Chain A
Amino acid sequence: MSKAVDVTGLTRAFGDFVAVDHVTFDVEEGEIFGFLGPNGAGKTTTIKMLTGLLAPSSGEGHVVGHDIRTESEFIKQRIGYMSQLFSLYGDLTVDENIAFFAGLYEVSGERLEQRREWVLQMSGLTAHRKRMTGELPLGWKQRLALGCAVLHEPPILFLDEPTSGVDPVSRRNFWDLIYTLADRGTTIFVSTHYMEEAEYCHRLALMNRGRLIALDRPATLRSAMAEPILELATDDGPAAAQALQGAPGIIEAAMFGRAVHVVVDDAARATHALPALLKSRGLAVHGITPVRPSLEDVFVSLVRREGGAVIS
């Protein structure tokens, strides 16, 4: 079975700084493959190497069967790409943007008509096709950008933090579109730093400081996390998290929303010991509940196991 992407020991350095450090993975055809990590983890650099925007310092890589070093001309014909920077022309109309990007991929004639209709319908912009793209709300622009990225029906679509800065409803709508594309057989390679978005992916690659620290299905990643997690409700979360650092039986304490997530070695013992421990610091505890680890917990725990710090 051929892979949509396969990468071996891919590395990119900028001077002394190694942005992507010997990354190896592959992506199945038709898969929604998530790339998760904080800003600066090397996600964008990896995508730039895969899409031919940046040459790798070392390592191998193939996208839809073509070598990323020598065959970027072929790759460019066969991929779709949409970046975090909104990338349509604001001073062209919706129709003009579609015509321009279609033209770059030599989509013309009957096929252009079909694809135009499809994009307008998918993005819900049929009634606004003569409007200037710059006047559209951000969520609409984003759907249009996605449509323009797949006008030529590429077998694989790269999305580099496509939803950053978008409200949650638009983000949800956007993911519905991604699912639609995936159902039609398009491989989706998406990077994000939103943990809840990562849950939508078939498989997830976790990146930190240029290195791939885990790669699996989201559920598997969660269940692989051994240590139990307790959610602690308290008046002063940051103070509590601080007080718990390094306390016996406590592996990690970090803010999670307004609560504190405490990774412990033994749930029962900790549930018993925590209130007293915090009370001695003058902090009242309103409740302790065991929680299912979120991907964020998994991520933090994996980084800790690696012995490094999360950069964010």
Chain B
Amino acid sequence: MFGLNRERLRQMMRKEFRQTFRDPRSARILFVAPVIQLLLFGYAVNTDVRNTRTFVVDRDGTAESRQLTDAITASGYFQIVGRGERPAQLVDAMDHGTVVMGVEIPLGFAADLAAGRQASVQVLVDGSTANTANVALGYATQIITRFGLQHAREVLARAGPLPAVAGVDFRARAWYNPNLESRVYNVPAVMGTIVMMMSLLLTSLAVVREREIGTLEQLMVSPLKPAELILGKTLPVVLIALAQLVLVTGVALLWFGIPFRGSFALLAVAGLCYILSGLGIGLLISTISATQQEAFMSMFFFFLPAIMLSGFMFPVQNMPKVLQYLTLLDPIRHFLEVVRGVFLRGAGWGILYKQILILFAMGVSVLWFATTRFRKTTA
């Protein structure tokens, strides 16, 4: 099976390169599309909560109520897009989806504070945007609590010197991503999905296209062996996909300023194994599909769940146990662990060797399976 003929393999690869780069437009797409996608998704996939649209109903209309409103705006997390006197206005804005959060300061807020009574503020969030609502609510709670404490301290200070109180000093630090920017976390993952998509796109039509135009039959009556055909189609794609990986890595580093703390060699080796797994799957789809349309649909049937299960958007540890095991079959999941590790944490071979081995094993076994499947379908 592996008695490969170098000349035939060379011919096959040369033909693939020629066909791929024949149309200058499609050649440009190969290298411009990943960059555009990374730029687009790099900005789009952003889970930071900033400038949350907020509606304020200030029924109190006092200096204290304005102070509270100012504190909320000053944080940068909220942007007041509407004000009103009646709660109905807030409900209306919420129903229309024009605001995500509403703050209602009741009549007598300032009076309660002055009298030393418990003052209350109502905060409403749009729960249909669960993620944003959760984060925004957290920020709002912090701001309002701090406002309350500060006010209490002022009242106490007026009454006389404060007794010494030993509080607990809370100091949080986020390692690897000190400002907790979601972009730092997401851009490397977007790179991973782009490389997978390109590998699948380049290979899933590779064999079935020839089946449709009839050249596959011509190849099968020639001395060309299945392994030569599969490798001849694989190797050019490996080179193209590696070039794309270099390109998107460059954009991530230079444009988005994502930190890179690990080793480029590790990223290259892991990338190579990842690309092998991706185009192995693509070729498998291509060899078992009867038409290009069928291949295209199968590709998406694989690609979308692979993204969902990869931990790209939803952390794997939040999934039910069964699904967590299923994610082990997902090459994207393993590669995302590598890119996040190597970019942000500077993880080395000792930590990431497992993922790399899994990707390599996946790539080789899927390619081998595609070759044998192909042998059977044509024999």
Interface residues of A (CB under 8 A from B): 51-55, 73, 76-77, 79, 81-83, 85-92, 96, 99-101, 103-106, 108, 158
Contacts and interface: CB of A to CB of B under 8 A. Distances in A.
Most buried by A among B214, B220, B222, B378: B222
B217 interface: yes
B132 to A, nearest CB: 49
A71 to B, nearest CB: 12
A101 B15 CA distance: 10
Contact of B379 (A55, A77, A90): A55
Interface in B183-232: 213-215, 217-224
B1 to A, nearest CB: 12
A51 B23 CA distance: 34
B10 interface: yes
B223 A76 contact: yes
Most buried by A among B223, B224, B378: B223
A101 B12 CA distance: 10
Interface of B: 5, 7-8, 10-11, 14-15, 18-19, 22-23, 213-215, 217-224, 378-379
B235 to A, nearest CB: 16
B15 A85 contact: no
Contact of A53 (B8, B221, B224): B221
5 contacts: A54-B379, A85-B213, A87-B218, A96-B15, A103-B14
Contact of B11 (A76, A82, A90, A104): A104
B7 A77 contact: no
Given A91-B19, A92-B18, 8 more contacts: A53-B217, A76-B221, A77-B223, A79-B221, A86-B213, A87-B218, A96-B18, A104-B222
A43 B224 CA distance: 24
B215 A104 contact: no
A89 B15 contact: yes
Nearest to A74: B223
A76 B229 CA distance: 15
A53 B224 CA distance: 12
> By DSSP majority rule, is chain B's interface helix, strand, loop, or mixed?
helix
B19 to A, nearest CB: 5
Contacts of B378: 53
Nearest to A90: B213
Contacts, number: 71
Contacts of B222: 76, 101, 104-105
A247 B7 CA distance: 68
A101 B378 CA distance: 20
Task: From B214, B218, B221, name the one whose CB has the most chain A CB atoms within 10 angstroms.
Answer: B221
Contacts of A90: 213
Contacts of A76: 221-223
Contacts of A82: 218
Contacts of A79: 221
A85 B222 CA distance: 16
A83 B7 contact: no
Nearest to B379: A55
A99 B378 CA distance: 25
B232 to A, nearest CB: 10
Given A73-B223, A89-B15, A91-B22, A103 B218 contact: no
A79 B221 CA distance: 8
B9 to A, nearest CB: 10
**Most B C-beta atoms less than 10 A away, residue of A77, A88, A103, A105:** A103
B350 to A, nearest CB: 45
A158 to B, nearest CB: 8
A103 B223 contact: no
A92 B378 CA distance: 25
Contact of A51 (B11, B19, B221): B221
A52 B218 CA distance: 11
Nearest to A101: B222
B21 to A, nearest CB: 10
Contacts of A86: 213-214
What are the 10 A-B residue pairs with the smallest beta carbon separation, nearest first? A85-B214, A103-B11, A87-B218, A81-B221, A87-B214, A104-B222, A51-B221, A76-B223, A100-B15, A91-B22
A108 B7 contact: yes
